[in-house]
Structure 1
Amino acid sequence: MTTALSILIIGGGQMGSAIALGFIRSSAKISITIVEPDLDRRIEITDTGIIAVKETPNPITSEVIILATPPHIFPLLSELHPQLQHFTGVIVSVMAGVSLSELTTRLNRTQVFRSIPNLACSINQGTTLSIPGPQVTRKNEDLINRIFSTLGTSIFVTEEHLLDSATALVGGGPAYISYFTAALIEYAKIAGFDNASATSMVIQILRGTSALLEAGPDTPMRLCERVMTPGGTTQKAINHFNHMQIKTSIVDGLNQSFLHSVELGRRSWR
């Protein structure tokens, strides 16, 4: 960031805090305040060096507001934060399932974005998918793309249904990778490695494999095939995974996440 920017984050949960940490680490020119009503959570946030307050400032002087509350809170947002009625800056929602039409209607604002980041934003290695409202200015679109680019990769889409898919893939992605990582570590420990060695090995395997995929040119399955020797030990494991339909199960699980994101949006509109 070349100019100073003030951002107010409403909601100090895991995602709101991750975004705040990433912004603080990316630039000294980004000023962050989190609104979090829970005292214990505010103390935790303050301990990381981020300003946390109980109530929304009045007036709001920040240029950007990020809404990071649970989606079921959204219908009450204007009541809980009446200062939003007088805010004329940019509003970004990272709430799962809450559509642009709901955001613009309930907030009565046009400069509104819907975004799906993930927890890796906290270390500036995140992925964020965004879509602007239909009346958002090019200047504000550039601004939001610029600030989310400081957190990792920022991607803008033109079809809103992709945001619900992104909730499943991008938002949940670190959980799925961590789930598989836990299984690899569990195997290593059963095999006799201590926890520190098992964890170190598996994390390096993930790091190295990610680097191979990024370097190309192999697709993930082509890389998988390169590791396997016909009739060998790795093929034995992959054959078992295929027999258990693990890849299909993973895709089905993400689809369940996608459907739940859509349902959350419907509930917030009721």
Structure 2
Amino acid sequence: MNQPTIAFIGAGNMAFSIIGGLVKQGYDHTKIWATNLTEDTLKDVKQSFNVNTTTDNATAVNEADVVVLSVKPQVMKEVVQSLAETFKSQKPLIISIAAGITATTLQEWIGAPSAIVRCMPNTPALLQCGASGLYKNPQVSDQQAGIAETLLKAVGITLWVKEESGIDAVTAVSGSGPAYYFLFMEAMQQAGEALGLDSETAKQLTLQTALGAARMALESSDDPATLRKKVTSPGGTTEQAINTFNEGELSALVGKAMKAAADRSEELSDILSK
């Protein structure tokens, strides 16, 4: 597949990360454009990856086969409507990584049928270790879907959902998910300190244990439930901790928390579409 020209509208952290991942994998830097309101941000992108930069969104879109919308959700409507005529004439694949804005809403702001992929990456994408959920509207061709997948794979794994409502679930699982693990790490470190460990020792043990458990879950043929059972000896220390978690209805609490995240994602979509 020939490398399409990609324009990133907004050159913040996530766009910077995706551009870096693409260039690292050998993508032609001359086929990447980045726009931003501030020259300082563009200077960083230019110095890091030697891509094309401009403060004029239309200039970049006019060159592009693929447009990545990576501006803040609050300004997305203004940005998209200002580019609507250019989108209509150029007919690029549009990839949105903005939370809460549906493909239907984007199409309404453009004012014409458009090939749109909506993506929900997460912050580990900044380390090329992300997880992204993707949804494509009916106007997206198989070739365009492949382009979107290739682009997001530059920063981690990609998984498609069949219905756009699935993006709300993706948001609850992987979009917000890193914060859940950070919260649990925080609690474990605090508990370790309460048991007599110094702060740095508790921190290092907690973080390395989290890393090791994640790698085991990824690389093992066993599912997490089986791995947990293998670590949990009858009558042992782990069993006592697991029983305590179960007494506190940890699974139900996690389910309740993630439903709250998914519900809020849906609410934000309604708010931002107006």
Aligned-residue CA RMSD in angstroms? 2.7
- Does residue 6 of structure 1 match 2:9? no
- Give the C-alpha shift of residue 32 in structure 1: 3.8
Q: TM-score, normalised by structure 2?
A: 0.83
Change (3 A) 1:115 1:263: same
Change (3 A) 1:43 1:29: closer
Secondary structure of 2:8 counterpart: strand
Aligned length: 268
- The residue that corresponds to 1:97 in the other structure is 100
AA of the residue aligned to 2:107:
T
Q: TM-score, normalised by structure 1?
A: 0.84
Question: How many Å separate the matches in 1 of 2:14 and 2:250?
Answer: 28
Percent same amino acid at aligned positions? 22
Deviates more, 1:252-261 or 1:120-129: 120-129
Change (3 A) 1:238 1:43: farther
Cα distance per residue 1:206-240 (max 9 Å; x no partner): 22212222233432222222222333222222222
Query: Which stretches in structure 2 are left out of the alignment for 5+ residues?
Result: none
- Does residue 128 of structure 1 match 2:108? no
Aligned partner of 1:192 among 184, 191, 197: 197
Question: How many Å separate the matches in 1 of 2:198 and 2:219?
Answer: 30
- The residue that corresponds to 1:71 in the other structure is 73
Question: How many Å separate the matches in 2 of 1:159 and 1:90?
Answer: 19
Cα distance per residue 1:56-108 (max 9 Å; x no partner): 14253122111122333232223454644543211001122222222222222
- Does residue 224 of structure 1 match 2:228? yes
Change (3 A) 1:173 1:45: farther
Question: How many Å separate the matches in 1 of 2:48 and 2:182?
Answer: 23
- Give the C-alpha shift of residue 175 in structure 1: 2.0
Question: How many Å separate the matches in 2 of 1:98 and 1:212?
Answer: 35
Question: How many Å separate the matches in 2 of 1:113 and 1:267?
Answer: 20
Question: How many Å separate the matches in 2 of 1:9 and 1:255?
Answer: 32
Question: How many Å separate the matches in 2 of 1:79 and 1:251?
Answer: 38
AA of the residue aligned to 1:103:
L
- The residue that corresponds to 2:16 in the other structure is 17
- The residue that corresponds to 1:242 in the other structure is 246
Whether the 8 Å CA contact 1:26–1:124 is kept in 2: the answer is no
Structure showing greater relative contact order (alpha-carbon pairs closer than 8 Å, 6 or more residues apart): 1
Query: Which stretches in structure 1 are left out of the alignment for 5+ residues?
Result: none
Aligned partner of 1:183 among 180, 187, 202: 187
